[in-house]
Structure formats: structure tokens, C-alpha cells
Chain A
Amino acid sequence: MTTLQTVFAKAKADNRAALVGYLPAGFPSKDGAVAAAAALVEAGCDVIEIGLPYSDPLMDGPTIQDAVHRSLSNGTRIADVLRTVEGVAATGAATLVMTYWNPIDKYGADRFARDLANAGGVGTITPDLTPEESGPWRTASADAGIDTVFLVAPSSTEERIKAVVECCTGFVYAASLMGVTGARESVNVAAEGLVERIRAHTDLPVCVGLGVGTGAQAAEVAAYADGVIVGSAFIRRILDAPDGAAGRASISVLARDMAQGVRR
């Protein structure tokens, strides 16, 4: 199992940023998700976030909503998410689960943390869990030995940044813009300032997500962040591909471009 600490230490030693890819479990199919994630790892992704499909993804834009809807229609369950994690972790990438809070809450925090660790997962990203409500999850995660990543936004005050990073282990997720997930024409210039503000409060690696969709954008973000997070741009390509193999080929091309980007 590759830990986040190993990934970021290695990237730092190589004088580059880490590349983080996101794909929902069960998309384009249960097995297809593992194959797609493996293609991303092969093309140079260091970390994979496996999305746990949720019926009310209020932080996600149309691309991820579409993928998640298809995944749920395929009958994806938490057991499938954990199997996906197991398959992806076997490729050697550090594998996280990104999920809204309610599925963990319902499944049971301790049970989820334990099952995720047993599947080879190294942590979670929980975009709607605020520091105030995060206590039980941080305890469960610490007991199971997995990391807890939370988000900071451009609107966050210094006080909030401090509160959020104190809850983070592994890395801090900096949302580059005020908005939902999805590739954008350009990466918000505010992202760099936000990363600086976060660094004033923590020595943890800081990864930037939301709106990154090209190798050039990855290079731009890699200049100031420890990691570059890409989701919707991969999913868009899978959605647009005629079949699974074509989708994998297409995301491999993009991931290679980005892997070069983070090394520029």
C-alpha cells in the first residue's frame, strides 16, 4: 500500500507536483472504473480518488452528476466502492475515497473507516463535512489509520483555514474557485493566493482542484501547489468515448499530458 506521505515525499524529491485523478466507482461500469483508474495510474497519476456515488451531489457540476447518476443506475453499492478501492490500490497508487457525508454516517463511521483501510484505502476527502461536525469521523479515521482530507475555499477566512487544516491529515484540498466541480477555460488566479494562505497555517502538502483540465493548466498549478487534482476532464472523455477501451485510451492521453505538466 502506497501512502500519501510516500507519494508527496517522492514528488518533492523529484521536484514536481503529484497528479491526483478522480473517478466515481461504478462508472462507466463496476469493472470499468478499476480499468479506467489503472489507465490513469499507468499514465502517471500518483493518487486516485474514488468517488462514492451519492444521490444528491450538491457540490458537483453537470459532468460528475451525469457520471454519478449512471453509476447509481448501474446499482453501485458501498461494497462495490470498496472493491474498486481494492482494485485501484493494487496498481500501486495511493487510493482515497471522496464522498459526501451521509453515506458514511449511515454505514457507520467506525465500520467505514475500518473497511476502507482493509480494502487498502489510505483516506477520505469529505467535501460537505465541516470541522464542527468532523469529530466522530476524525476519531474513526485515526483509529483505522487512514487520512482525513478536507477542503478550503477562496472565501475561507484565516480563522476557517486554521480550523480546517487542523482537521486535515495527508494533504489539504484547496478549491481553486467558488463553484462546483467541472473543467474551466482557465484556472482561477485566486488559487495561488489561497495556497499561500494555507501554507501559513500548515506544513501539510496542498493540492489544488476544481477547474483543471489540460496539461498546461496542470503545469501552471504545479508551479505553486504540491498536487494537481483532475476529475471532470477525465470523466468528460469517458462520457464522450464510444466504448470503454476508447475511453481509457482517451484519458491516458490526457493523463500523460498532465503528468508532463506537473513535471515542467
Chain B
Amino acid sequence: MATEGTILTAADLAGNGVHGDDPDVHGKFGIFGGRYVPEALIPALDEVAAVYEKAKNDPEFVREFDHLLRTYAGRPTTLTDVPRFSEHAGGARIVLKREDLTHTGAHKINNVLGQALLTKRLGKKRVIAETGAGQHGVATATAAALLGLECVIYMGAVDCERQALNVARMKLLGATVVPVTNGSQTLKDAINEAFRDWVTNVDSTHYLFGTVAGPHPFPEIVRDFARIIGVEARRQMLDLAGKLPDAVCAAVGGGSNAIGVFHAFIGDEGVQLHGYEAAGHGLESGEHALTLTAGSVGVLHGSRTYVLQDDEGQTIESHSISAGLDYPGVGPEHAWLKDSGRATYHGITDDEAMAAFSLLARTEGIIPAIESSHALAGALKLGRELGPEATILVNLSGRGDKDMGTAMKYFNL
């Protein structure tokens, strides 16, 4: 149990091993994960792994992280029953985990606060990060401002345009935003560019990776820092409903919010885990981000996982109306959860997501991020499958203010 006034214990943070699902010494989840990176980065990755291993077992680190989560990020976030929305899910009870209420408006703040504290322990003064929707960039710029770190954000030029508001926020927070103009000019290219910066400036710089993908130890570290979402939600569900939910739903791009909410439930056999990827214009259109549901096993950004790739291993550009899900790879632990059958992954089209986006706004007065709307759309379908007795927990990973430009265009507002 957490001591009074705290929300996080060392066991919560290092929940690894509890369910026997820790990666091995090489960062492998089964056949997935590992490290496929230039040798030049190995010492830095080893250093991050060693410093993290020490930090997570250090009560002082856990205290500092807990303090920031409570007094800065605004945790714990509440659960919200959404009965009017639930009417459209065949009457199943849908409950939202309100990560949209955190400071900066998305779950990304959890990971960046943890990694910013880690950066201090690494003795580094500069952080770099990639961003898709801009949420991880904003969160990183926020944590960098808070802890006095220099901050450079790599963002695809296409994403800079569709998330102009977030670019302005990052600049206001003192970060330098570098638009990436090569390749598809989206998240994957921003990651390439961030790796190039890191290999050049690794002595001074921590790569504050934003999702549960990438080389070991990032999938494990980011998961542990996002884990608080599920840890809280599990306790709160027991308080609210007196039982665990029948299913947990989350959107999956790189997969950090999904792992964050799933992880505390992995050992609960009766709880189904459902991840929703962006089906974009539909599988047949070829314009989607269905990495787990339609991709194949390969290596991208330093990790073995499911990848959208052609028959010769060239990455295929993904598509989604939501920049945060527009990524042709996915975290290796999701690949492992998929193959082991513990979690199930589905596609939600742009249109289905936008319908859920609008529905939640009109029925509950909550404007969700378009990313999170994929999980909401999934929950509507799942509720009709599971029936009115079912309780479904949905991770509302972020708020939709950043998506107003897209919504105005889509709905002709």
C-alpha cells in the first residue's frame, strides 16, 4: 500500500517481475525488443539502463517522482462514469480514466517527469525528443522548463502543420522545435532525426523517448513511468464498482498509454485487454497505421516488433487522422502481448474515431483527443458485444483541444 498522501510506491513503479513479464537482460519480450542500433549508442543505453535500475529501487527517487505526479501533474486522475455515452454501447457501463485532466492535457506527462528526473541523475543538461501529435513534445518541453534542462524537439514537418498550436506551446515553453523534412515528414522521420542528434551529442544529451518502442531499455522505462495510469485505475475501479472491469480499452500508436493502463491488469485473467490502432481510411485503402493487425515482424527504430513494411523490409508510410497514432511501428511488449494472446488489437477508422469524438463531446461534455477517440469507438463496439452487464474501462489518454483544427475541417465547424 502507498503510505498516506502518496500515490506511488517503489513496487508500483517497478511492477516488473510481479507478473513475470519483465524483458530479459537483452531487453527481449519473447522474440521482440532488443537493440538494433549503432554501436556508438550502446554505452549510453547501458548507462540509462543502469541509472534507471538504481533509481527505481531508490526510495528518494520514488518520492521525488511521486511528489511531481501529485503536485505538478495533478495525479491521481479521476474515473468518470459516462452513462449518456454508454447508451450507445448497448448499455454496457463505460468508465473513463481521465488522463486528459493531467497537466499538459495528456498521459505523456507521466513518462516525461520520470525521465526528466532520470536525466538529472544521468548528469545530463540537455534533452531531445521526437513528437507526433506534439503531446510528447509539449510534455517534454514542460518537464525541461520545470527542471532547467535545454530542450530540442524533432517533429515531422507535416505534423508541425497539423499541430501548429502545439508547436507554439513548445516554443513558449522555451524548447527549440526542429521541423523534419525528410521521408514522410511524420513521427518515424522525427525519431530518425532524434537518433542522429543523440549519436552526435550523447555526452551531454538524454534522448527522452516518448513511447514504449525503441531499443532496450526504453520500452521498459517508459512502461514503468506510464504504469501509474493502470495502478490508479485498478484501485479506483475496485472503489467505484467493487470489482475489476470486464475489459480495458486503449488506443495504440507507439503504445505507451495502452501499456500504461494495461500493465497493472495483465495478471487479472478475467480482465480483457483491447488495443485500438488507427485504421485510417480502412485496411483495403492501404492508408492506415494497422501495425499489429496488418503488419509483419521486423526491425524498426532499434527494436524487433511488428512493422508496416513491404516485402523487402522498407517501411511503409502510415496514415491516421490523429498524428499520435500515425506510426508504422509499435512497442515490442504489445507485439508480445498480441502473440501470447493476452491482449487483442483491432482497427478503428478515421470516421469511426471522429464519430466517437463528437459523441463524447455531445453526450458528456468532454472533448477527447482524436487518439483517445479510437479507444472510445472501440469501447462502443465492445460494449455491444459484451452486453449491458459489462463494465469497460477506457483510457482517455488526452484532451482534444489540440485537435480543434482537424475537427473544424472534418465537421465543417
Contact = CB atoms under 8 A, between A and B. Distances in A.
A164 B39 contact: yes
- What is the predominant secondary structure among interface residues of chain B facing chain A? mixed
Nearest to B192: A58
B40 A106 contact: no
B301 A153 contact: no
Interface in A167-198: 175, 178-180
B43 A69 contact: no
A11 interface: no
B196 A180 contact: yes
Contacts of B183: 55-56, 69
B142 to A, nearest CB: 27
Interface residues of B, number: 38
Contacts of B26: 132
Interface in B5-37: 26, 34-37
A78 interface: yes
Nearest to B27: A132
B40 A155 contact: yes
Contacts of B41: 155
B135 to A, nearest CB: 23
Contacts of A154: 40
A130 B36 contact: yes
Interface stretch (B117-125, B224-232, B312-320): B312-320
Interface residues of A, number: 39
Given A59-B199, A101-B299, A105-B298, A156 B36 contact: no
Given A130-B37, A132-B35, A180 B313 contact: no
B312 A103 contact: yes
A160 B39 contact: yes
Contacts of B36: 101-102, 128-130, 133
B302 interface: yes
Residue in A78, A133, A152 whose Cβ sees the most chain B Cβ within 10 Å: A133
Contacts of B34: 132-133
Given A130-B35, A180-B196, A106 B202 contact: no
A106 B315 contact: no
Given A57-B192, A58-B301, A156 B42 contact: yes
Interface in B336-370: none
Residue in B196, B309, B312 whose Cβ sees the most chain A Cβ within 10 Å: B312
A77 interface: yes
Contact of A102 (B195, B199, B298, B311): B298
Contact of A160 (B37, B42, B189, B311): B42
A150 interface: yes
Contacts of B307: 102
Interface in B35-82: 35-44
Nearest to B215: A130
A105 B314 contact: no
B300 A102 contact: yes
B40 A178 contact: yes
B313 A106 contact: yes
B362 to A, nearest CB: 41
A61 interface: yes
A133 B303 CA distance: 11
Contact of B312 (A106, A164, A178): A106
A107 B36 CA distance: 17
Contacts of B199: 59, 178-180
B334 interface: no
A154 B39 CA distance: 9
Given A55-B315, A155-B202, A102 B43 contact: no
B182 A65 contact: yes
A175 B40 contact: yes
B136 interface: no
B188 interface: yes
Contacts of B182: 65, 69
A233 to B, nearest CB: 19
A65 B183 CA distance: 9
A15 interface: no
Nearest to A69: B182
Contacts of A61: 196
Interface in B186-232: 188-189, 191-192, 195-196, 199-203
B123 to A, nearest CB: 16
A155 B298 contact: no
A105 B299 contact: yes
A241 interface: no
A56 B313 contact: no
A18 B300 CA distance: 34
Given A56-B192, A101-B299, A180-B199, A155 B311 contact: no
A107 B299 contact: no
Of all A-B residue pairs in the complex, the 7 with the closest CB atoms, nearest first, are: A106-B313, A153-B40, A103-B313, A102-B313, A179-B200, A55-B315, A102-B299
6 contacts: A78-B312, A107-B312, A128-B302, A151-B39, A175-B39, A179-B200
Interface of A: 54-59, 61, 65, 69, 72, 77-78, 101-107, 127-130, 132-133, 150-157, 160, 164, 175, 178-180
